A and B are shown apart, each in its own frame.
Chain A
């Protein structure tokens, strides 16, 4: 029966192939949407572990989360260094990490932070950041890059890089007067960190010390150490601030790096250019956000209340997990739309199959009469149609999964580079298997319609065939 069925289908191979293609397409779409959704969620959830609170200027939780954790978009206003110190000293706070944003390196976000970032940031269920090579930056010229950035441009420790202002991939305002030297490369995490360039707060501020006076190619990479030195000299020569202060400042920073965050002797600075000469740790005028860890997780609500009551500045304390939930509620509509669409395509695929099976029935009356004359029962003919549906569905599903895997392999680098999403080719998840089973079962169920028609037809036709 099986090979009869197969040969009969092969006889109609063109239509059968189209049917298989349409089923394959719907399977690929349904599974693809599901995989993308699951991976996006897992990716986002992985990016945000270990941080109890994200504090930023009053704004939308999701926006703050997206900007600080994923480097997408920006927070609204900055928050003052005073607020940072106020928060740092709250008794419930265990640690804080300042975050400055807004610049990019060849399309990859540049984050100004302290070296404590690497100590406290957690991803993928509590894993610490690991240095694939090198160490955290110790000086304003030092930079730590994510695995993806290193891979994309072939950077290693010692490479000198130039950043651009703004967050677009093509920037004309290149800060090549303030190059950085890569001191460390982070191991691969599969999160947005892979796409980030980290510099110290001083380094980040230094980017804005001197506006670029010329239009420069953002893709220039100065990697020869001699050239870098020359460059630096050139910059210093053009600086209208005290030349010697720069080097002095560097030394000071190294010294103060250890006591960062514990310096109570701070002054009010409104001009970022001024405080470089101060005798204590670097204090930018404003930062964009603060990552904070708590002594007790239960203190979250009291902190949120305290910050909401904070008079000097309007602040928002975001719980990353709550913000993620909000994000899901926003994306749910889009997800639902995508799933509905995938479902509709699957339905169209199945209807196409039923149409194909039904349309061929009249032409195949002859076939059924011959089969009955040689002993096929009406039930046998009924199951022949079901078997055809099974073959078409199975072929469609196999083809769809293969097509999706190939497609995934092709677009994975693009997704990873642009969105930090890694889909990867793996065994289908339980949900995916269930979806595939759903397509299969509904297809089989739908094919009962033509099979029943055939059953009745063979009963009434018997051996006589009206042509």
Chain B
């Protein structure tokens, strides 16, 4: 069972003639944690946007959890995204005026599927996830997210990506704002939680020191022929 399938994916910004993405074949198996390594400008963000259904891709080129992203239109893509994907950004993952707990619960607001999968009490599920990620203090998780440190914010972002057990977690350089020590702990936690929930993980980074912890590592410039 493949959660992400890319087949003859070609994508170009409308005003450019050269494609930014040109990927013949790429698969992400269920539960697989893959490290995608690439320098900036190698099309990392575009790749993630294609999988997340933020950019228009040709029909049949991107399948996530069995659905053809290119065939979805408008708001369906947004609903599909929250139903099946968890996303962790580089920095500033959280809405600063919501508490850590409320931030974690955001996908459950927009997706009935995630809410159902989070169990009868999504709040308890979120609290449990946050505790596993090292945010145990009840006072801390109810405080506005802006009061948290960067490392804590990234861990809340992981909790948000994982709540309601989506099939795929996309992580876009989530460690770039963390120091060496936190970085290691963070990646370990992320992998552990993804494995615990059975989600596939696509981890994009330019930092090769982290790749050994993953099931598989690929070089984006090798995969993406479009960006030369």
| Residues of A near any B CB (own CB < 8 A) | 4, 7-8, 10-11, 366-367, 369-380, 462-465, 467
CB of B37 closer than 8 Å to a CB of A: no
CA of A373 to CA of B83, assembled, Å: 11
B49 adjacent to A375 (CB under 8 Å): no
Residue of B75, B78, B81, B96 most packed against chain A (CB within 10 A): B78
Q: Is A377 within 8 A of B106, CB to CB? A: no
A376:B78 contact, CB within 8 angstroms: yes
Give the contact-size bracket for chain B. Answer: 20 to 34
How far, in angstroms, from A378 to B97 measured CA to CA in the complex? 21
CB of B152 within 8 Å of the partner chain:
no
Chain A neighbourhood of B83, CB < 8 A: 375
> Are A465 and B74 interface neighbours, CB within 8 A?
no
A11 to B54, CA, bound (A): 28
Beyond A4-B98, A374-B82, A374-B109, 9 additional contacts (C-beta under 8 Å) are A4-B95, A8-B97, A372-B54, A373-B87, A376-B78, A378-B78, A379-B74, A463-B48, A463-B89
User: Measuring CB to CB, which residues of chain B are less than 8 angstroms from any residue of chain A?
Assistant: 45, 48-49, 52, 54-55, 74-75, 78-79, 81-83, 87, 89, 92-98, 106-107, 109-111, 160
Give me 27 A-to-B residue pairs in the complex whose CB atoms sit less than 8 angstroms apart, sorted by A's number.
A4-B109, A8-B97, A11-B96, A370-B92, A370-B93, A372-B54, A372-B78, A373-B81, A374-B87, A374-B109, A374-B160, A375-B78, A375-B79, A375-B83, A375-B110, A376-B78, A377-B79, A378-B75, A379-B75, A462-B49, A462-B52, A462-B54, A462-B55, A463-B48, A463-B52, A463-B54, A463-B89
In contact, A377 and B95 (Cβ under 8 angstroms): no
Where chain A touches its partner, the secondary structure class is: helix
A373 to B53, CA, bound (A): 10
Considering the chains assembled together, what is the distance between the CA atoms of A6 and B81 in angstroms?
25
A373 and B52 within 8 A (CB):
yes
A10-B97, A367-B95 in contact; A377/B111 too (CB < 8 A)?
Answer: no
Residues of B within 8 A of A467 (CB): 92
**Closest chain B residue, CB of each to CB of A375:** B82
- Whole-angstrom CA separation of A463 from B87 in the bound complex: 9
- Contact among A4, A10, A464 with B45 in the assembled complex (CB-CB below 8 Å): A464
